[in-house]
């Protein structure tokens, strides 16, 4: 399977980066005794991220519009910019691991989704890497690095595979300044996302106590 298309353009730093997550649950009850049955209907929350971009370079704007025109309908690698972090040491070409502190960073979610990360220096210097395992102080790669990356001048950013919205608004603020807003909806993985309603997948609450049978 082909790797997703990287959207390498940095947010403008002025407009907020917005993340959405959607959950699906059902609450049955309360019964005469006051009990509730809480059923998780979706194994994995849906999600999206929206960022703003601006350019005072017509060349940079042309690069972005050309990329959107050619790759719009494909699966994208959407960087989670709020979680960008530095490597703890330089990483050499052909290395099979990255030295980085991973605590609190969503390189993968609870289901292990999100098998990519992005090494990024600027919109023309980046490398999408496939993840094999996550450790507290390093990330094991599925494929060796192509380039050498400096800890002082580059970032490592978690990535989610995503689809770009059908319409991408582009706004000419002046003849030299262009702004845009991009909304990426995270890819839904598989048809088993909906949890079947079975007895061992709900929580019964009785006067504040959680009865065994749920998380």
Could you tell me the pLDDT band of residue 115, with boundaries at 50, 70 and 90?
confident
CB-based contact 58:86 (threshold 8 Å) = no
Round the CA-based radius of gyration of the chain to a whole number and report it. 21
pLDDT digits (tens, 9 = 90+) for 22-42: 888 888 777 677 777 778 787
CB-based contact 161:75 (threshold 8 Å) = yes
Has residue 131 got a pLDDT over 70?
A: yes
Residue-level pLDDT at 209? 39
Has residue 19 got a pLDDT over 60?
A: yes
Residue-level pLDDT at 207? 39
Beta-strand pair 5-6/76-79? parallel
Domain boundaries, the chain: 5-211
Helix (H) or strand (E) holding 55: strand 46-55
pLDDT digits (tens, 9 = 90+) for 74-107: 999 999 999 999 999 999 999 999 999 999 999 9
Closest CA to 114 of 86, 74, 80, 144: 80
Tokens of 141: 């790669």
Could you tell me the pLDDT band of residue 204, with boundaries at 50, 70 and 90?
very low
Could you tell me the pLDDT band of residue 113, with boundaries at 50, 70 and 90?
low
| Distance separating the N- and C-terminal Cα atoms of the chain | 35
What residues form DSSP beta bridges with 156? 85, 119
Rounded CA separation 121/125 (Å): 5
Q: Is 102 helix (H, G, I), strand (E, B) or coil?
A: coil
């Amino acid at each position: 399977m082909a790797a997703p298309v990287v959207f390498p353009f940095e947010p403008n730093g002025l407009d907020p980066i917005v993340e959405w997550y959607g959950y699906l649950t059902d609450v049955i009850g309360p019964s005469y005794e006051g009990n509730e049955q809480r059923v998780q209907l979706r194994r994995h929350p849906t999600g999206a991220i929206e960022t703003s971009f601006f350019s005072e370079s017509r060349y940079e704007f042309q690069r972005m519009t050309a990329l959107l025109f050619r790759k719009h309908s494909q699966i994208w690698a959407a960087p989670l910019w709020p979680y960008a972090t530095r490597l703890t040491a330089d990483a050499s070409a052909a290395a099979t691991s990255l030295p980085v502190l991973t605590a609190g960073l969503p390189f993968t979610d609870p289901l292990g989704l999100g098998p990519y990360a992005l090494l990024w220096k600027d919109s023309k210097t980046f490398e999408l890497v496939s993840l094999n395992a996550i450790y507290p102080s390093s990330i094991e790669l599925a494929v060796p690095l192509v380039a050498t990356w400096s800890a002082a001048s580059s970032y490592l950013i978690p990535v989610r595979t995503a689809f770009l919205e059908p319409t991408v608004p582009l706004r000419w603020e002046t003849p030299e300044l262009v702004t845009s807003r991009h909304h990426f909806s995270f890819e839904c993985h598989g048809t088993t996302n909906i949890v079947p309603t079975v007895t061992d997948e709900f929580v019964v609450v009785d006067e504040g106590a959680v009865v065994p049978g749920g998380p």
